[in-house]
Amino acid sequence: MVRLLNVYTISAFAALGGALFGFDISSMSGVIGTEQYQNYYGNPLGARQGAITSAMAAGSLVGALSSSFLGDRLSRKVSIQIGAALWIVGAIVQSASTGVPMLVVGRLLAGLCVGVTSSLVPIYQSEIAPRKIRGRIVSLQQFAITWGIMVQYFIEYGCSFLNSTASFRIPWAIQAVPAIVLLVGLFWFPRSPRWLASKDHWEEALRVLAFLRSPANDINDPLVLAEYKEIEDQIRSEREEQSNSYRELFSRKMRKRVILSMAIQMWSQLSGMNVMMYYIVYVLKSAGIANSMLASAVQYVINVVMTIPSILWTDKWGRRPALLIGAIVMGFWLFAIGGLLMRFGEPNPDVDQPYTWIVVGHPSATRAILACSYLAVATFAVSWGPVGWMYPPEIVPLRIRAKSVALATATNWASNFALGFAVPPLLRSIQWRLFFIFGAFNVAAFIHVWFAAPETKRRTLEELDEVFEYGEPLWRSFLGRRESNKLDMLARDIEIGILKIGRPSHVEATYVTTENAHSDRTIP
């Protein structure tokens, strides 16, 4: 019988942290186009709207930077709970806000939460997931993000028909609900076994592993013991090397990877996806679409649906093809939007609008811009969206993973902040040229990935060490390798009795040689 609480349900539940991230992304897009919002907050345009939108990303940047400190000290689980509590306070402040400053403070607080959860949820998930489905489990986070974006947008769309400030207060208050569920529910969930072991809670680490991996909860299950042994080895070598993970982050050996994972998150933001997520209403209005609220709702559905293929097949396709093809195709759609706006648009006579360029009287051009926007969203959803989160934890060893992922996530938020701030004034000043700039960023991302990002699918960290150290030609990494079966081999040795694992408190493994069953050999 399948147990209710298993790796999938725990990861899916933790992904509620991702849903908060999604709520955050679309918490503005569904209200900025409404009269109720514009009247109440004094018609914020350009930099003023940019400041409101990007306050959340600024908070997230700080949250992401503090996440590894919290996650390493208090555990991944408790830190995610702290994040959820912050989110609840932030939601209350936003929905009760009496003006722009209070709204900005509420968004900063909620942002702190998203920074913490967006770094620690993937780490928690990858530390409880079996290696073979790690890619899939981490992409659940992206799936939850897309759901969060869509659900919040629909709530805002529904509330936009209310003719009072309730039209934005209700959606901002409802944001607290998933956070309450996450905060309370996590009390019943285990802490990460790897974190427990790093704090010398060996007994509990073994029990959690047995709970996660063995249907019968059996602490003597060879697979459980093999993984336990692997964690123990890692922690021992870390302690022997006395590695200071902060220094190691920028050591000659790791520098390249840490910078690459930061760059992947930066390119994912510079892909232009968030111009659509945050400001699609402006883009569509500028393209001449009358019911822009409804037209934008469709993009959020596309975003959810197109993430599914990646969850199902990313462990098969590999990361490099997704990033390379994703960048080129995404760039193409953005150049097309820019070109269509340039060719068929004209200055907007209504200067009080957030967009100063408009397409009028060219219904086919309007439809083509709408199609290209949808295709851009679909392209990102199946490629950079999930892979952007999967790749950074995959290319660094466990001992520096939390810190390196925190830096990569902070880069995501720093770029997100800069864009949230810059896009509204740029849309007003350089109009269609903005899409050419984002198109060019995608070309740059393609070139960078081509020369610097190896395939990680089915590769062990040792194999990746070789690639990074000796510069294996990257085209060869397209081919992938056979999956590492070190864990299976350990489990087999335990099962047939030639490897014995000591009990917690003093964990020691000994090999019993077959020729002389009495002479034990400690594993090096």
Sites of contact with ligand BGC (CB under 6 A):
25, 142, 145-146, 149, 268, 273-274, 277, 303, 385, 388, 412, 416
Nearest to 278 by CA among 18, 26, 23, 24: 26
Pick between residue 150 and residue 289 the one whose CB is nearest to ligand BGC.
150
Burial profile 93-112: b = 16 or more Cβ within 10 angstroms, e = fewer: bbbebeebeebbbbbbbbbb
Of how many residues is the chain composed?
524
Task: Provide, rounded to whole angstroms, the least separation between the CB of residue 71 and ligand BGC.
Answer: 19
Task: Provide, rounded to whole angstroms, the least separation between the CB of residue 437 and ligand BGC.
Answer: 18
**22: number of Cβ within 10 Å:** 27
Locus of tokens 């694992």: 501
Pick between residue 10 and residue 145 the one whose CB is nearest to ligand BGC.
145
Contact 505, 205 (CB under 8 A): no
Query: How many angstroms from the chain centroid is the CA of residue 252?
Result: 27
Task: Provide, rounded to whole angstroms, the least separation between the CB of residue 378 and ligand BGC.
Answer: 11
Pick between residue 120 and residue 231 the one whose CB is nearest to ligand BGC.
120
Pick between residue 278 and residue 317 the one whose CB is nearest to ligand BGC.
278
Task: Provide, rounded to whole angstroms, the least separation between the CB of residue 361 and ligand BGC.
Answer: 33
* Residue 473 tokens, joined: 């030609």
Round to whole Å and give the CA distance between 354 and 37: 14
Round to whole Å and give the CA distance between 266 and 334: 18
Pick between residue 138 and residue 324 the one whose CB is nearest to ligand BGC.
138
Query: How much is the CA Rg of the chain, to the nearest whole Å?
Result: 24
Task: Provide, rounded to whole angstroms, the least separation between the CB of residue 218 and ligand BGC.
Answer: 38
Consecutive H or E run containing 345: strand 345-347
Handedness of CA 268, 272, 273, 274 (dihedral sign): positive
Round to whole Å and give the CA distance between 184 and 190: 13
Pick between residue 63 and residue 385 the one whose CB is nearest to ligand BGC.
385
Task: Provide, rounded to whole angstroms, the least separation between the CB of residue 429 and ligand BGC.
Answer: 23
Task: Provide, rounded to whole angstroms, the least separation between the CB of residue 258 and ligand BGC.
Answer: 18
Task: Provide, rounded to whole angstroms, the least separation between the CB of residue 28 and ligand BGC.
Answer: 12
Pick between residue 160 and residue 416 the one whose CB is nearest to ligand BGC.
416
Pick between residue 231 and residue 372 the one whose CB is nearest to ligand BGC.
372
Pick between residue 27 and residue 412 the one whose CB is nearest to ligand BGC.
412
Contact 369, 91 (CB under 8 A): no
Task: Provide, rounded to whole angstroms, the least separation between the CB of residue 221 and ligand BGC.
Answer: 36
**42: number of Cβ within 10 Å:** 10
Round to whole Å and give the CA distance between 111 and 58: 7
Round to whole Å and give the CA distance between 495 and 510: 13
Residue 191 DSSP label: P
Pick between residue 326 and residue 388 the one whose CB is nearest to ligand BGC.
388
Task: Provide, rounded to whole angstroms, the least separation between the CB of residue 26 and ligand BGC.
Answer: 8
Contact 128, 212 (CB under 8 A): yes
Long-range Cβ contact pairs of 90-99 (< 8 A, separation 24 or more): 90/59, 91/172, 91/173, 91/175, 91/176, 91/179, 92/173, 92/176, 94/27, 94/172, 94/175, 95/169, 95/170, 95/172, 95/173, 96/169, 99/41
Nearest to 335 by CA among 432, 245, 210: 432
Task: Provide, rounded to whole angstroms, the least separation between the CB of residue 22 and ligand BGC.
Answer: 7
Pick between residue 205 and residue 405 the one whose CB is nearest to ligand BGC.
405
